[in-house]
Amino acid sequence: MLHFAMFQPLPGFRDFFPERCAKRNHIFRLWTQTARSFNFQQYDIPTLEPLELFTQKSGEEIVGQLFNFTDKGGREVALRPELTPSLARMIGSQANSLKRPVKWFNIAENFRYEKQQKGRLRSHYQLNCDVFGEPGVGADAEVIATAVGCLQVFGLSGADFVVRLSDRNLWLHFLESQGKTGDDAMAVLGVVDKMERLPREAVIEKLEPLFGNKAESFLQQAQSLIAIRSLDELKQFFEGLELATELKQTVDERLGQWSSLLDWLEGLGVTDVLRIDLGIVRGLAYYTGFVFEVFEKGDDGQLTGRALCGGGRYDHLVKKLGYPDMPAVGFGMGDVTLTDLLESKGLLPDFIIAPEIYLVVGGDHERKIALHDAQRLRALGYSVEYPLKNQSFGKQFKLAGQSGARFALIYGEEEVKQHQVKVRDLQTGQEMPIMSVYLVDALGQFFAEGIPAHEPEGADPSKL
Amino acid sequence: MLHFAMFQPLPGFRDFFPERCAKRNHIFRLWTQTARSFNFQQYDIPTLEPLELFTQKSGEEIVGQLFNFTDKGGREVALRPELTPSLARMIGSQANSLKRPVKWFNIAENFRYEKQQKGRLRSHYQLNCDVFGEPGVGADAEVIATAVGCLQVFGLSGADFVVRLSDRNLWLHFLESQGKTGDDAMAVLGVVDKMERLPREAVIEKLEPLFGNKAESFLQQAQSLIAIRSLDELKQFFEGLELATELKQTVDERLGQWSSLLDWLEGLGVTDVLRIDLGIVRGLAYYTGFVFEVFEKGDDGQLTGRALCGGGRYDHLVKKLGYPDMPAVGFGMGDVTLTDLLESKGLLPDFIIAPEIYLVVGGDHERKIALHDAQRLRALGYSVEYPLKNQSFGKQFKLAGQSGARFALIYGEEEVKQHQVKVRDLQTGQEMPIMSVYLVDALGQFFAEGIPAHEPEGADPSKL
């Protein structure tokens, strides 16, 4: 049994055969391209970190979900479940010398020991984009637009996903108006976070310890807040509350920031995929302002409940780790649900993994000439293949065809004697002999235009 | 103290700040490009694997060097110290359907719990290129040429490194002629492996249990074998031994394979960096034929003792893991010693991490126009930056200059009113107003040719 287990990746881990690896790399490539277009700079962090780095941020509860152990030097260590604490360490340690805002991205493997289910593996890859050092809504907008860009670049659109934009601050202001602050307010947010997935009675049951016989009316109010889809409605909602002067002023300021954020997002052209939706509060305790999640839409236009991306503002983390104050906002986007979505929409191409050129070689003498050319062509960036042992011409032509190469170069006894190479277009069968010294030029032309079916009048193709 | 430790990567692990990450990625990029030019296909494997996968290949001794632990499901697991066993699993599991030869490469992080020293970290990245399914010397040559290509692509040459080519088979034939086979032969190879780093007396001491009073004469003979630098000398060496008929025939066949391998390598143009050198035997127990190591050369042309790359043939591993027979040859090349070497030779460029375009924006109204253009330009592949909050023009021009961007696009009140953008070359200070609708075309030209110092006669640049 152990023997069999040895021959499988561990549960929740993946082997990437070339076809699958090419698809994964396609996702990495387009993520990288998009993050760079927003001028994010790439960084990377260790796979293994001190356990305390994670418990300091997320509490001891997280240990249950970690691959953690004691190393041979007696250190408590863990495979990173996320990048943010390590990132905060890097940023924090250079907080005084980094030019603000700092815009950094990374694509890395994260690990969680958790129950396996569709879209949840124990190892997955995540794109992280974060902006540090800018407290204003411009940074929130930048991060949201980057997340949207990282989906649109694959051909996904508002028909496929929606960005649900929420605000922990407005929630806290609303809860303050209901007399809930501090731990009580956090407890309510914990219920709000689960509301979508729980039956109404269960929600009431959770609210009763906090609101007593007002649980029902609080729930109604919360649901009307969650149902809001425009800034005007949001303003009306808060106008309808009886707010103390100071709180009213705070709320007005916040609504002003909402207005400004929406202006930025309109400029960035992402309002058509955006939905104001206070139903999002984000589970993690460290978010401090605007938060958002990107959800998949089903064919019926309704949300499927599968999140593609989540993020928001976390202004206190760097300081909490003991470094200078450094406001921050960022998002993470995983490869697993995105791959599933792209596959289902036919947006993840099959990659043709093939050399560009296949050499068909007569014998040992011809091989020396052929290998020399192979190295010349490789230095120019061509991918060149040939049989690694002696084979008949017939077998080699079969291999050349199977390889997927565009051209075969034929090094027969005759060709080599005349310092020529015969180039065959493996799609059309068209052939042309080329003097060896002109091979590079000729191939450049053939890749662009194919081998001409007829030679120009009076031309001697062997001298081309 | 724990608090401090939390704020450092673990010993032997690295944070990659953007400047360092760019250099690392440069190495990955050129490795990838070279491996692809040889038509290797990229794959990937899990970071965490069943412990037994590694002990099965390398014996229980390896556990002392691993980051291994028991996971929450009671599985004995380890961070991969190398890729080969996982690769053999992937190849083995599809042995009957994969088209041979299989040429695969990967770049991945490997982990070893070992004493830290220069060039040895606990986490490093390694390029692996392997050919499966071809027993002939063509595959050995392909792998050696790929390794050489993966160093030459950085500008390294025969002045910087040498490929030491050896052969476990010839060693075993020689030892058989001295009456040593099986475990005894392996024990001798173990001594040969350490010979370079040990004083003569220590070597004799290790050989005496195996050779008794013939230890001295064996050592002399071994040293003359190790000193050989040409195929002719190699032939003479074995002619000088009194070989039984059958062994002589085996040796002759092997020397024929040597001749053939050197022909392949000559064709591939790598003989000038190659040195026949039986001083290499490679520590790992699983190599079965030709083996090689690439060593750094010092300024004096002598070997520094630092290996950049090692590889060889390991025909039995796939079968040993219980799969069909699958001959194999490959190499691994790490990032740590290579990075040191490239740095010391000035061959690792500093990368300029900068946006291409910086937007200078008047106010909220102008920002909407500017952000819209930013998104258009990003979709075309430009990296575009702008301040994430309101700033004075003066401050913005300063930021634009510091950003390293080539061009600033200026969205002042006047420009926006006239549907124009002013483009400023941040190197020359040259400016030109452009109608917004022609911005993309004009920028394409400016990036190629710069902003012209004088407008063409009669042209109205604002209509350009």
Is the pLDDT confidence value at B193 over 60? yes
Contact A384 B149 (CB under 8 A): no
C-alpha to C-alpha distance for A438 and A333, rounded to whole angstroms: 49
Please give the DSSP secondary-structure letter assigned to residue B272. G
Which of B268, B367, B378 to probe by mutation at the A interface, max A CB count within 10 Å? B378
Q: What is the arrangement of strands in the sheet containing B68-70, beginning at the earlier edge strand? A: B48-50, B76-79, B68-70
Percent of chain B with pLDDT over 70: 95
Contact B99, B77 (CB under 8 A): no
CA neighbor of A385 nearest in space, from A362, A415, A408:
A408
Out of A39, A50, A109, the one facing B383 most closely (by C-beta) is: A39
Bond from prior residue into B209 cis (ω within 30 degrees of 0)? no
Which of A37, A52, A351, A409 to probe by mutation at the B interface, max B CB count within 10 Å? A37
CA neighbor of B218 nearest in space, from B228, B227, B208:
B208
Q: Which helix (H) or strand (E) holds B310?
A: strand B303-313
Q: Which residues of B378-397 are buried (b: 16+ CB within 10 A; e: fewer)?
A: beeebbbbbbbeeeeeeebb
The predicted structure's pLDDT at residue B282: 87
Q: How far is A181 from chain B (nearest CA, A)?
A: 31
Q: How far is A390 from chain B (nearest CA, A)?
A: 9
Nearest chain B Cα to A83, which residue?
B15
C-alpha to C-alpha distance for A269 and A362, rounded to whole angstroms: 60
Radius of gyration of chain B (CA): 30
Instruction: Give the list of residues 6+ apart from residue A309 with CB closer than 8 angstroms, or none.
Output: A147, A150, A151, A293, A294, A331, A332, A333, A334
Contact B388 A136 (CB under 8 A): yes
Nearest-10 Cα torsion for B8, B13, B16, B21? 170
C-alpha to C-alpha distance for B327 and B264, rounded to whole angstroms: 19
- Residue listed under structure tokens 């998949």: A296
Is the pLDDT confidence value at B461 over 90? no
- Which residues, in sequence order, are bridge partners of residue A163? A274, A294
Out of A48, A138, A385, the one facing B10 most closely (by C-beta) is: A48
Chain length of chain A:
464
Q: How many CB pairs under 8 A join A and B?
A: 257
Radius of gyration of chain A (CA): 30
Contact A6 B56 (CB under 8 A): yes
> What's the burial of B158, exposed, middle or buried (CB within 10 Å: 0-12/13-18/19+)?
middle
The predicted structure's pLDDT at residue B463: 52
The predicted structure's pLDDT at residue A61: 87
Beta strands in A286-367 (DSSP E): 290-297, 303-313, 328-334, 357-361
Contact B151, B309 (CB under 8 A): yes
User: C-alpha distances in angstroms, A69 versus A10, A72, B60?
Assistant: 17, 10, 20
- Average pLDDT (B162-166) is 98
Q: What is the dihedral sign for C-alpha A337, A339, A343, A348?
A: positive
Out of B109, B123, B371, the one facing A268 most closely (by C-beta) is: B371
For the entire predicted model, the pTM comes to: 0.94
CA neighbor of B173 nearest in space, from B231, B224, B228, B244:
B244
What six digits make up the tokens of B200? 């003569």
Instruction: Give the list of residues 6+ apart from residue A464 with CB closer than 8 angstroms, or none.
Output: A432, A434, A435, A438, A442
Chain length of chain B:
464
> What's the burial of A296, exposed, middle or buried (CB within 10 Å: 0-12/13-18/19+)?
buried
- Segments in chain A below pLDDT 50: 1-2, 464
Contact A47 B49 (CB under 8 A): no
The predicted structure's pLDDT at residue A462: 55
- Which residues, in sequence order, are bridge partners of residue B274? B163
Is the pLDDT confidence value at B249 over 70? yes
The predicted structure's pLDDT at residue A455: 59
* B264 neighbourhood in chain A, CB within 8 Å: 367, 371
C-alpha to C-alpha distance for A311 and A130, rounded to whole angstroms: 9
Contact A314, A287 (CB under 8 A): yes
Contact A303, A296 (CB under 8 A): yes
Helical spans, DSSP H, in A230-363: 231-239, 245-267, 317-320, 335-344
The predicted structure's pLDDT at residue A119: 64
| Helix and strand totals (H; E) in chain A | 17, 16
Q: How far is A394 from chain B (nearest CA, A)?
A: 17
The predicted structure's pLDDT at residue B117: 72
Which of B39, B89, B313 to probe by mutation at the A interface, max A CB count within 10 Å? B39
Q: How far is A109 from chain B (nearest CA, A)?
A: 9
Contact A263 B75 (CB under 8 A): no
Out of A2, A37, A48, the one facing B383 most closely (by C-beta) is: A37
Which of B356, B388, B409 to probe by mutation at the A interface, max A CB count within 10 Å? B388
pLDDT in tens, B389-439: 999 999 999 999 999 999 999 999 999 999 999 999 999 999 999 999 999
Instruction: Give the list of residues 6+ apart from residue A295 with CB closer than 8 angstroms, or none.
Output: A161, A162, A164, A303, A304, A305, A306, A307, A308
Which of A378, A391, A403 to probe by mutation at the B interface, max B CB count within 10 Å? A378
The predicted structure's pLDDT at residue B2: 42
Contact B345, B152 (CB under 8 A): no
Instruction: Give the list of residues 6+ apart from residue B41 with CB closer than 8 angstroms, or none.
Output: A18, A21, A353, B103, B104, B105
Contact B109 A47 (CB under 8 A): yes
What six digits make up the tokens of A66? 């970690």
C-alpha to C-alpha distance for A254 and B455, rounded to whole angstroms: 49
pLDDT in tens, B251-295: 999 999 999 999 999 999 999 999 999 999 987 678 999 999 999
For the ranges B57-66, B166-175, B318-327, the one whose mean pLDDT is highest: B166-175
C-alpha to C-alpha distance for B238 and B255, rounded to whole angstroms: 9
- Average pLDDT (B113-120) is 76
Contact A17 B264 (CB under 8 A): no
What six digits make up the tokens of A359? 């050499």
What six digits make up the tokens of A457? 């009048």
The predicted structure's pLDDT at residue A453: 78
C-alpha to C-alpha distance for A265 and A177, rounded to whole angstroms: 29
What six digits make up the tokens of B2? 């724990």
Is the pLDDT confidence value at B3 over 50? yes
Contact B357, B383 (CB under 8 A): yes
Nearest chain A Cα to B87, which residue?
A15
Contact B48 A67 (CB under 8 A): yes
At residue A250, what is the residue type?
Answer: T
**DSSP secondary structure string for all residues of B393-432:** HHHHHHHHHHHT-SEEEEE-HHHHHTTEEEEEETTT--EE
ipTM for the whole complex: 0.94
What chain A holds in terms of domains, given with CATH numbers, is 18-344 (3.30.930.10), 357-463 (3.40.50.800)
Out of B5, B42, B268, the one facing A50 most closely (by C-beta) is: B5
* A375 neighbourhood in chain B, CB within 8 Å: 145, 149, 268-269
What six digits make up the tokens of B180? 């040593």
* B56 neighbourhood in chain A, CB within 8 Å: 6
CA angle, residues B402, B408, B413, in degrees to nearest 5: 120
Q: What is the mean pLDDT of chain B?
A: 93
Out of A6, A43, A403, the one facing B18 most closely (by C-beta) is: A43
The predicted structure's pLDDT at residue A228: 98
